[in-house]
Amino acid sequence: MGYHEERSLLDILLPIYRSIRLNLFNQLETVQNTSVQGRSLVSYSARKQVIPENIDFPCALNFTRRSTEVPTSVNRLRPGDIDVVGAIGDSITAGYGIFDTAGLTNTAYEARGSSFTIGGQETWETYLTLPNILKLYNPKLYGYSLHSVSFKKKSMFNVAEGGAVSQNLPYMSKVLVNRIKSNPNVDVDNHWKMITIFIGHNDFCTNICYTTDYEQFLRDHETDMLEVLRILKKNLPRTIVNLLPLFDLKKLVSQNEGLFCQYIRIFYCPCLLATQYKHLRIKYFDILRRWQELDLKIADYPEFHTSDFTVIGHPFTINYSIPLKSNGKTNYNYIGPDCFHPSQRGHAKVANDLWNSLFMPYGKKILSTSKEFETFICPTEEHPYIYTKENSLE
């Protein structure tokens, strides 16, 4: 059975909102697909990932493709055993700001097909994303997004929304469960699924300055996260959940280069960057770090580690920052024209880091990251499985 939400008077406005949003998306998509104005500029942009010519994927594919028999344990999953992918998150997962072909107006373009957690546009050589890597091991992988808004079919199992906050997690998880259960191409009981959750940026950028009870702020997030994981566990057997703490937004404040970026970032993240809250930043940063640690603590709860369900906490996002140039200044090739969201190259870097984290033992996952394509950690013949809490102890 699916979930059914009560409707309010505001639901009357939803079709109007969707119509406006779809019209904007279609106009921006026209720019993206125009050979002169769109595609050529994206391909040669400095914000596009750069991959050496004639390079093969660095990991062996022969012994790590699908198991000869469908595994019954989440602790025996090879990359090719993942049948379905999904994602829950905010504007980063929705693909805002990835492309720069139309300047700031293009930050509203939802390039979900290039989102590092769930995008499946083209191949890993053009868009390095987790699904595009998994497609090498299982060409029949299902659920990844193409460039689309959330309510269009091409968004598939990407239910992320711009502006989403922690309290939206339970609702988004119910939407995701409904989409998966109602899709005839998914065998819910037998297909192995990988769902990635990445949220929290808006809680600190736009919400935290409207509360004075910071302990309740954290407790509310814990309640939200526990609810979403319990919903997924109850409704989606044979599932791995990747839980990524939000980026270290303290780095956003320290990378304060140029008036343009300063003003744009204040627009996106007033609670951390507006001068009226400057005296509270130290407190906010402390709460942010505790939020990140809370996510990893929740991922470790015993209730979320069974034979057919597990949560993997990925700590690499805790200290994540935009790479620097050789002169010590911010390398803006990794962020979009809004100076806030990751560019396509930025998404490629995070996809690389997430892949590496999947093949590091639980408890030994590194906090630092490397340049995209610089390091690929691969499954081995001795341990061809995705590392979980349980099989990391073997």
The string over 170-179, giving b where at least 16 C-beta atoms fall within 10 Å of a residue's C-beta and e elsewhere, is bbbbbbbbbb
Q: Are 118 and 130 in contact (CB under 8 A)?
A: yes
Q: What is the mean pLDDT of residues 131-154?
A: 83
Check residue 257 and give its pLDDT.
Answer: 64
Range in 153-157, 190-194, 389-393 the model is least confident about: 153-157
Spell out the domain ranges in the chain.
9-392
Burial class (CB in 10 A: 0-12, 13-18, 19+), 259: exposed
Confidence of residue 3 (pLDDT cuts 50, 70, 90): low
State residue 372's pLDDT score: 80
Q: Nearest Cα to 164, choosing from 102, 246, 229, 239? A: 246
Instruction: Find, among 179, 173, 161, the residue nearest to 231 by Cα.
Output: 173
Neighbour count for residue 67 (Cβ, 10 Å): 15
pLDDT tens digit string along 305-336? 999 999 999 999 998 877 777 887 778 888 88
The CATH code belonging to domain 9-392 is: 3.40.50.1110
Provide the residue type at 16 as one letter: I
- pLDDT of 12 reads 45
User: What is the secondary structure of 171-202 as a DSSP string?
Assistant: HHHHHHHHHHHH-TT--TTTSEEEEEEE--HH
Angle, CA of 195, 252 and 349, to the nearest 5°:
45
| 131, 113 contact by CB (below 8 A) | no
> Of 8-17, 68-77, 179-188, 352-361, which range is least confident?
8-17
pLDDT value for 52: 65
DSSP state of 342: B
* Cα(125)–Cα(55) distance, integer angstroms: 9
Higher local confidence (pLDDT), 198 or 273: 198
Cα–Cα distance measured from residue 242 to residue 116, given in angstroms and rounded to the nearest whole number? 12
How many Å apart are CA 255 and CA 321, to the nearest integer? Answer: 9
DSSP 297-341: HHHT-GGGBSSSEEEEE-GGGTT--PPBPTTSSB-GGGB-TTSSS
Q: Write the pLDDT tens digit of every residue in 271-311.
A: 999 999 999 999 999 999 999 999 999 999 999 999 999 99
- 98: nearest Cα among 147, 131, 163: 147
The contacts found for 34-39 with CB under 8 angstroms, 24 or more apart, are 37/101, 37/102, 38/101
Phi, psi of 126 (to 5 degrees): -95, -40
Per residue in 87-108, pLDDT (tens digit) is: 999 999 999 988 764 455 555 6
List phi, psi (to 5°) of 196: -115, 130
**Residue 109 and residue 156: Cα distance in Å, rounded?**
17
Write out pLDDT tens, residues 338-388.
Answer: 888 899 999 999 999 999 999 999 888 887 777 788 889 999 999 999 999
Among residues 269, 243, 244, 245, which one has the least CA distance to residue 256?
Answer: 269
- Supply 59's token pair: 């990991």
The more confidently predicted of residues 25 and 100 is 100
Burial class (CB in 10 A: 0-12, 13-18, 19+), 357: buried
Contact criterion met (CB below 8 Å) for 57 and 124:
yes
